[in-house]
Structure 1
Amino acid sequence: MLKKELRVILISLLVSLLITGAKFAAYLMTHSVAILSDALESIINVVAGGFASYSIYLASQPKDENHPYGHGKVEFFSIGFEGAMIFIAGILILVKAIQYFIFPKELQKMESGLWVLGVTTLANLLLGLYLVRSGKKLSSLTITGNGQHIMTDVYSSLGLIIALTVIHFTGWNWLDPTVSLLMAGLILTNGYQLMRRSISGLMDETDMKTVDKVIEILSANRRENWIDIHNMRIQQYGNNYHIDCHITMPYYLELNDAHDEMKRVEELVNNGFKNSEVEFFIHMDPCIPSCCHYCLKSACPVRSHPFTGEITWARDNVLPNRKHG
């Protein structure tokens, strides 16, 4: 897994280096601040690719005494670093665009610059699609985040090509810094979103999509001894997960039987999370008489109240620290 992730990110790094060089060449030919903006953003791809290589290596290291949950959290730091670099690039582009409004420059060799930009945009599109697909396949936050950033670069480059084509045929040079301002806004937004995702991961903010996926897996394979599941908490470490939860079971179960039920929960969820490892800490609660009305155990020898209906598992009863009903 590590070799595959490193190979993907190294390909990204090499291609980004070539694209960045080509974009700066286009800027030197045309003196377009909008192309300079695009080139500055590409520098971030190179820096982020280098940092991502190290973060992927570190995230793959095994658990130790100082890091009992592993080193996967570094991936959140990686996308936060990338987001901060993108945000800084957005500010630099904003400043440069304002300077060009005050001190405009004559654009040159626009046709050659457009050809270079078109080729680099196509290369970026292929790279972005490759990274997003690889990131999902390998369950890598770093690779997926890198791919999403490059796809944003593609969209801004397409807009830039359209704007420069209009400038080339109309001579409206004022569009150049105007487009650069729009690109700065897009880049600043993208940087903020990556930093926001990084902070939420480092602060263990609940990912409701992951919660819903776990609930869906357990609901589809519900066993009659699983009377309810509550107080669920999910933490993500790179592409691995740690889940705490309470499961209410019949109080008279033998310890071995209860252990088998908990192992079944672990196996089901791990099978549902491909390319990820899910570690469970399960606290078993004994059932009480108030559980009887929704308990699915048909041959319960100690039922004190009649069954009235199954309670569907959802966020509102799985996340709180209380038995259902």
Structure 2
Amino acid sequence: MLKRELRVILISLVVSLILTAVKFIAYGMTHSVAILSDALESIINVVAGAFASYSIYLAGKPKDENHPYGHGKVEFFSIGFEGAMIFFAGVLILVKAVQYFIFPKELHKMESGIWLLGATTVANLLLGIYLKQSGKKLNSITIAGNGQHIMTDVYSSAGLIVALLIIQFTGWNWLDPAVSVIMGLLILVNGYKLMRRSISGLMDETDMQVVDRVITILSAHRRENWIDVHNMRIQQYGNNYHIDCHITLPYYLELNDAHDEMKRVEVLVNKEFENSEVEFFIHMDPCIPSCCHYCLKAECPVRSHAFTGEITWSRDNVLPNRKHGV
């Protein structure tokens, strides 16, 4: 899978390099600060693609003594770096726009510039769709983040083309730096979002969508010996996950039987998480009398209370560090 990820990101890098060159050609022809803004953002695509290539290579290295959970965290550094670069590009674009407001330049060959920008926008659209689909299929946050950035570039370029067409037919040249200001602000927001996601991953912020997915899998295949699941914590390392949790089992199970139950959990979740490795660290809790009223085990030899109803597993009772009903 590592080779596939590298191939995808290298395609992105080469295409972004070509499109960036075309945009700078369009700027040289037109002297439009808005087109320059788009070209500056595209430089970030190239730099981010190069950094992403290295991060994917590093994330694919096996675990070792110094990195017992693998090297996947580097992907969060990758999207954080990309976000910081995008943010810097937004600031640079705003500075350039203000300069053009104060010292306006005459625009040239707008029609040719619009055609070139239109061609790069279509190419970026196809690249963005390819990256987002590949990121989802390969479960790579680096590729998905790169695709998100490319799609943002597509939207801003499309808006820019509309503005340039208005300038072409009306002669309102003041729109050129005005549009550049809007683009700069949008780019700042996008850069902030990527940096925010990077910090969340590095700080091991819980991804509730992954929590819900794990809970759904365990609920759908619930066994009578799995009395409850609690104190669940999920950490992401690249496209792999480490899950800590407590599972309450009948206290009289032999060690081999209890181990087999935990192995079933690990195999089950890994089977459902395609293209990812899920490592479990499960603490086994013995049941207590207060568990009897929701225990599903029909033939329990030590039941002290009648069964009153099944407890549905959810974030509310799976994440806290306490047995259900206690």
Same topology, TM > 0.5: yes
After the TM superposition, which residues 43-192 of structure 1 pair with which residues of structure 2 at under 5 Å, given as runs? 43-192=43-192
Q: Which residue of 2 aligns with 1:251?
A: 251
In the alignment, the residues of structure 1 paired with residue 79 and residue 254 of structure 2 have an alpha-carbon distance, to the nearest angstrom, of 47
Q: Which residue of 1 aligns with 2:205?
A: 205
Per-residue CA distance 1:232-268 (angstroms, 9 max, x = gap): 0000000000000000000000111111100000011
Partner of 1:281, secondary structure, is strand
Letter of the 1:86 partner, please give it.
I
In the alignment, the residues of structure 2 paired with residue 185 and residue 295 of structure 1 have an alpha-carbon distance, to the nearest angstrom, of 55
Comparing 69-78 and 131-140, the one that deviates more: 131-140
Q: Which residue of 2 aligns with 1:12?
A: 12
Count residues in correspondence: 325
Q: Which residue of 1 aligns with 2:221?
A: 221
Per-residue CA distance 1:133-187 (angstroms, 9 max, x = gap): 1111111111110011000000000000000000000001111111101101110
CA-CA distance at 1:272 after TM superposition:
1.0
Structure 2 residues not aligned, in runs of 5+: none
Structure 1: 4+ residue segments shifted above 2 A: none
Per-residue CA distance 1:288-317 (angstroms, 9 max, x = gap): 000001001011000001111100000000
Partner of 1:279, secondary structure, is strand
Q: TM-score scaled by structure 1?
A: 1.00
In the alignment, the residues of structure 1 paired with residue 270 and residue 129 of structure 2 have an alpha-carbon distance, to the nearest angstrom, of 27
Q: Which residue of 2 aligns with 1:315?
A: 315
Structure 1 residues not aligned, in runs of 5+: none
Partner of 2:261, secondary structure, is helix
In the alignment, the residues of structure 2 paired with residue 309 and residue 153 of structure 1 have an alpha-carbon distance, to the nearest angstrom, of 53
In the alignment, the residues of structure 1 paired with residue 153 and residue 33 of structure 2 have an alpha-carbon distance, to the nearest angstrom, of 16
In the alignment, the residues of structure 2 paired with residue 271 and residue 177 of structure 1 have an alpha-carbon distance, to the nearest angstrom, of 53
| Percent identical | 84
In the alignment, the residues of structure 1 paired with residue 42 and residue 151 of structure 2 have an alpha-carbon distance, to the nearest angstrom, of 11
CA-CA distance at 1:95 after TM superposition:
0.6
CA-CA distance at 1:2 after TM superposition:
1.1
In the alignment, the residues of structure 2 paired with residue 66 and residue 137 of structure 1 have an alpha-carbon distance, to the nearest angstrom, of 30
Q: TM-score scaled by structure 2?
A: 0.99
